[in-house]
Homo-oligomer: A and B are copies of this chain.
Amino acid sequence: MMRIDSRTSSLISDELGELFKALGNVNRLLLVYSLASGEVERISVTEMSKCMGLTQPAASQHLKVLKTAKILIAQKEGNYIYYTFNKQALQKHKKTIDFLFNCALSKCEQLEKR
């Protein structure tokens, strides 16, 4: 049986809350999708602003949110800063989310058996 203690929950919920907030915006989620799909391999601020119909500062701010939430990392290359997935952090995020959902689902099973 999976368990979460209350200390764990408040520690994780800060980090996870930030992750969910970052992904809980249509523009940012669509960007993540287009990177995940391979539609684009990496994206610069300018590219994002163009392909999503946003101003340059808006794109910059969105990418900052995704970087702060450890979804993307920034890598300077020539004149551009390219944003790509933060692999290590994503793996960690995935584990945390899996854990939460597995806890929830095993809780469901447990309640059904009665």
Q: List the interface of chain A (C-beta within 8 A of B).
A: 2-6, 9-10, 12-14, 16-17, 20-26, 29-30, 32-39, 41, 84-85, 87, 90-91, 93-94, 97-98, 100-101, 103-105, 107-108, 110-112
Contact among B30, B33, B98, B100 with A32 in the assembled complex (CB-CB below 8 Å):
B100
Bound-complex Cα distance A97 to B22 (A): 14
Contacts of A16 in B (CB 8 A): 23, 29
Q: Is the CB of A17 within 8 A of B26?
A: yes
Shortest Cβ distance from residue A95 to the other chain B in the assembled complex, whole angstroms: 10
Q: Is the CB of A100 within 8 A of B13?
A: no
Given contacts A20-B24, A85-B105, 19 further A-B contacts (CB under 8 A): A3-B38, A4-B33, A6-B39, A9-B30, A13-B26, A13-B29, A14-B26, A16-B29, A17-B26, A20-B29, A32-B104, A87-B112, A90-B101, A91-B105, A93-B101, A94-B98, A94-B101, A94-B105, A98-B98
